[in-house]
């Protein structure tokens, strides 16, 4: 029997986790009985009872696995890391708040069996706030025009990914992964299925302005050069315009020395304008440098605090593996001495 892994990132989802487990297991029993399932809940340092409920589910269902992060590693690293830990023939990534419909799972599996290595859901409409949906639409259209790589509109990461694609993700070794861009960039055969995004079942969303800004900047700095190009071109234009205005003022002053008072207004306006332009583009360049810095530092995606129901070969924490390796090297050095 083939195994389908379902990855569910969680943060303060105590009201949804148990219901989602029942819904996913129910879909497999009723509509996909010929498949085994593996549900991986990865908790991003929740402050409620989410971990307690995941432990309970793991004790009741051996098909449920849990990964508990040592701290909150962000909205991108945590689900990406959990996908790399999946062992199924295909992996489905979905949110814990029921905004990614469980009913889509059989549709994904059907298209996967038809030969598609990636099957993703595209939000054609949403029951969320209309203003937020419109703003997201504007963002997707903007990034699609600016990006060097074709971007997928209204794609949140919800979809099915073949084990071959997961293997490629493991080989990427990207410390700041942006799955939406990676899916569009790598060029695997892809099937897009439209759906209507429902409202959250319960609880409050953890998304805020900072998280949305972080997502936007990660996509811009990872897949566009437009920020740096605009800075260079606009800076050159402003520099040329400033030199031209300064030359005109000099000529006018020399020709009409007593009748042409330059005054302070042009000087102040020019200084404020050029200063604001410089500050804006220094910030833009800083975003690119921040992205480059994160990649150069090569920090781990996630540090685990605990994992449950993984096989014996997967139970060791990354830190424990490093300690065991270091100890064996010391023993070997003593033997040589």
Q: Is pLDDT at 18 greater than 50 in this prediction?
A: yes
**Greater model confidence, 65 or 225:** 65
Per-residue confidence (pLDDT) for residue 311, from 0 to 100: 77
Q: Is the pLDDT of residue 302 over 70?
A: yes
Is there a contact between 19 and 102 (Cβ–Cβ < 8 Å)? no
Per-residue pLDDT, averaged over 168-187, amounts to: 82
Give the strand order in the sheet containing 304-308: 190-197, 118-126, 159-162, 90-93, 2-10, 35-43, 64-69, 304-308
pLDDT value at position 306?
92
CA–CA separation, 28 and 12 (whole Å): 26
* pLDDT confidence band for 50 (50 / 70 / 90): very high
Question: How confident is the model at residue 330, as a pLDDT?
Answer: 40
Predicted confidence (pLDDT) at residue 251 exceeds the cutoff of 50: yes
Percent of the chain residues topping a pLDDT of 90:
38
pLDDT of residue 115: 92
More confident residue, 122 or 327: 122
Number of other residues whose CB lies within 10 A of the CB of residue 267 = 11
More confident residue, 308 or 233: 308
Name the pLDDT band for 244 (thresholds 50, 70, 90): confident
Q: What is the pTM of this model?
A: 0.70
pLDDT number for residue 88: 94
pLDDT of 16 > 60? The answer is: yes
Please give the angle made by the CA atoms of 138, 143 and 146, to the nearest 5 degrees: 125
3-state secondary structure 53-105: HHHHHHHHCCCEEEEEECCCCHHHHHHHHHHHHCCCCEEEECCCCCCCCCCHH
pLDDT of residue 49: 93
For the segment 255-271, the average pLDDT, to the nearest whole number, is 70
Question: Tokens 């070969």 belong to which residue?
Answer: 313
Residue pair 16/203 in contact by the 8 Å Cβ criterion:
yes
The tens digit of pLDDT for each residue in 86-103 reads 999 999 999 998 889 999
- Residue 14's CB is within 10 A of a number of other CB atoms, namely 19
Q: Report the range of poorest mean pLDDT among 8-22, 212-226, 312-326.
A: 312-326
């Amino acid at each position: 029997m083939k195994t389908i892994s379902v990855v569910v990132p969680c943060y303060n989802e105590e009201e949804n986790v148990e219901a989602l487990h029942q819904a996913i297991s129910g879909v497999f029993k009723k509509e996909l009985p010929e498949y085994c399932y593996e549900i991986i809940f990865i908790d991003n340092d929740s402050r409620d009872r989410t971990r307690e409920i995941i432990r309970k589910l793991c004790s009741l269902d051996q098909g449920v696995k849990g990964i508990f992060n040592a701290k909150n590693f962000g909205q991108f690293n945590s689900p990406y890391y959990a996908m790399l830990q999946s062992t199924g023939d295909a992996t489905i990534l979905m949110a814990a708040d029921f905004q990614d419909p469980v009913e889509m799972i059989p549709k994904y599996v059907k298209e996967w069996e038809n030969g598609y290595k990636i099957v993703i859901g595209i939000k054609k409409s949403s029951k969320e706030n209309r203003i937020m949906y419109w703003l997201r639409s504007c963002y997707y259209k903007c990034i699609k025009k600016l990006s060097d790589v074709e971007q997928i509109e209204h794609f949140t990461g919800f979809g099915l990914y073949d084990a071959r694609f997961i293997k490629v993700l493991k080989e990427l070794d990207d410390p700041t992964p942006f799955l939406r861009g990676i899916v569009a960039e790598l060029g695997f055969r892809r099937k897009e299925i439209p759906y209507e995004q429902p409202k959250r079942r319960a609880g409050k969303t953890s998304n805020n302005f900072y998280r949305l800004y972080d997502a936007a900047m990660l996509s811009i700095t990872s897949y566009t050069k437009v920020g740096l190009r605009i800075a260079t071109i606009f800076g050159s234009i402003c520099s040329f315009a400033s030199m031209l205005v300064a030359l005109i003022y000099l000529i006018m002053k020399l020709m009409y020395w007593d009748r042409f008072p330059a005054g302070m207004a042009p000087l102040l306006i020019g200084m404020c304008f050029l200063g604001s332009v410089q500050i804006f583009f220094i910030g833009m360049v800083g975003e690119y440098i921040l992205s480059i810095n994160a990649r150069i530092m090569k920090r781990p995606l996630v540090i685990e605090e605990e994992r449950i129901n993984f096989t014996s070969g997967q139970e060791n924490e990354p830190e424990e593996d490093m300690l065991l390796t270091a100890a064996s090297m010391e023993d070997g050095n003593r033997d040589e001495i």
